[in-house]
Structure 1
Amino acid sequence: MLTTTRPRTTGDTRRIAVSTTELRQLGTTTPDPDTARLLLATRVSKRLLLLRTFLDAVPRPGESADHWALLEAAERAAPEAVREVLHHPAVGSWAEETLRRLRASRPDAPPDLGYFGAMAAAAALRAGLDFSVRLRSGGRLLALPSLGALRRERPGVLTVTAESWRQPPADCQALPLHRLAGTTVTLDDLDPYRAPRPFGRVRPARRLTAQGRAQWDRRFTGAMALLDRVDPARAEEIRTLLSCVVPLARTSRSAGATAPATPGSVLLRPRARLDLAAALVHEVAHGKLAALSDLVRLHTAGPEPHYRVPWRPDRRPFEGLLHGAYAHAALAGWWRRAAHAGVDGASARHAHYGRQVTAVLPVLVGSRHLTPEGHEFVGALADHGARIRSRNTEEGRQ
């Protein structure tokens, strides 16, 4: 059960064994079903560890103990339904923020323990249990992770029952999360933890209109169809690793982002299918590297921004240098396949991203900050880049 279950890592994601072959395979950025399953296992382990740590940190007895009991009852009835809730990306952001506040001697805000009750209610709803639980929310919106939210006329305490989602009380409206057409990917424009707070240069959009959701359906379907045609293996990898898209507000200073705290989720603006396909490749690559970093330590560098990179005007820390090189290498591979498929402008984009990666690889390869695992990973990335450049040279001579 959830109160006693430990991840197969015995509480430490770094105890999942990563072979040299898997490490080098990941370094190439090339899609691979086995390494995708490894990264998924890492996510599961980390999430269970976070939730277990949360329960240990919360004073008992209290509401959280009752909520945990409801979550356990839901797991007994429908384990897969509970898994949908526990591994919803926003739950990771909530767990990390809540643990930070619980551990702080002077937290900047009180920990949001009510969200855990909402998780239990969502799991019970998914499991079809007969239950009743009182939940508090600071605003009019009560999020139910992986399902959506209940919107009330006024904030306060709400009693959620087995009928609340299908037949909300008179003063409530059920707002379900939208599932992108033809996929298992949700479009999360409701959950307050759908993006970490604050998170760099991005801001998630507020609740979309029906027209806005329909636009996302068309563009996402078109992007995935293009990925299927041009690079089927990468399309399958995206389907395996991506569970949620968070639409960005137009005022965001970035067109896309990935947060380690919300694995399986990407933050994006809606774009034409070609640009959206490339954005998915780019952001999923960031997510892969973030998951790998939970398994093995790739470098010992600090957060100081020492490094110039060709894709941003500001200096970047070593972590940013590594992430940028990896994501741009994935993009170079994608655009190369797109060029072979006859996509207009793909050759120029492939050359552009290839040059960017080539410019920073010597810095990465020669860094004194790399661990032995980091040397293997970066070495595979450099070898892969060299093979692509070699093939391009040969093709140019033909």
Structure 2
Amino acid sequence: MMTSLTPTLFISFLIAGSGVGVNGQPSGGPQGGSGTTTVSDQEYCDLCGGDASYTETIDDSGTYPKRTIVTNGCPNHYAVCTGKDTDVCGDIGLEGTGTEALVQDYTFDIPANPVIATATDGTPECSTSTIGVALNGVPIYSGAVSANCDQLNVEDSNAEWTSFDFCGGHGRCLANDCTGDYHYHFPASCLETQIGARADGHSPQIGWALDGFPIYGPFGPGGTTMKHVAQGCTGAYCLDDCSGLELELSDVDSFKYRYYMNGPLSDLVSLPTDPKPAATDAPFALKCYRGCTYADLVSEATKCTGGSEGVTSSYLATPLEGVTEKFVSQPASDAGMMCAADAADSSESSSESGALSFFTHIHVCLGVMLATLAFCIANGL
């Protein structure tokens, strides 16, 4: 015998069956319902980079001055999902229809006056969370891709790198972890292109490590491609095990140490990102901290109290403005890919999309109300 639907169950059935979530995207998780985070209780970043936020402040009132970074974690560039073949993601090499990047609420405290520790901290090598922050607010990850410290294998045609877009990042959305934080493992090609190289070809600063030292792209003084001693590098500009260079470079900055991302910049159009770093470019980002994190300083860890100043006498801690203006890839635009419109058109399109999403929800709600009324009349309620 068929059981009659109660009004409450009937309404729930209609809402669930509508398939409409927030922002006009399908209801359920970003991968069609899998994962612990759902669209209905999270907000997606603009897939073309229109809602990035980033601020820095310097607080020198305490014993250890700190640089506080506040960001929503949304990239200021293309973030269309690829390499996963789900509801919103394209298959490997194909453009999807949406993004897995979710709006976050990040606050990072890092040393404003970094200290070179007496011993390195190997935490970054096996970390699967933030070890640095790009100047557009996107977290920087190491080469680790599992809690077991498995490292990203760029020679495996089915490995995680196949989901990296041409800007060098992707959103995390796995079966048991759908935090949706967009992040970089590879050089931040779109961000570095947007900022532009220094006059001598040196990469621009693209972010901060959590120990307070700056992170640059893959090119050092004179445009030299930075490499590790393990790669056969010789001379004054070789990277240490942490992927950093301990040297005063007055033409670059006022720090005594800095990190470099490793690998080529992409062509800003290929999916997945291409050219990609070689296996010898690992760990791609930093492998260890040469300095002390803010937590290390506050706890007065021995490696910090016995450490040395990481800045020169000309250094003055000042907040950076960050890079949140939307970046549009010209090669991707020429290829007819998504997000090809200029910033003004994209903003207008985003506003229109938001309006359409609003009216879509109104339409669904009215439909539910009318259907419920008809149900009640038919059942004499």
- TM-score, with structure 1 as normaliser: 0.22
Normalized per residue, the structure richer in helix is 1
Task: Please say which structure displays the higher CA radius of gyration.
Answer: 2
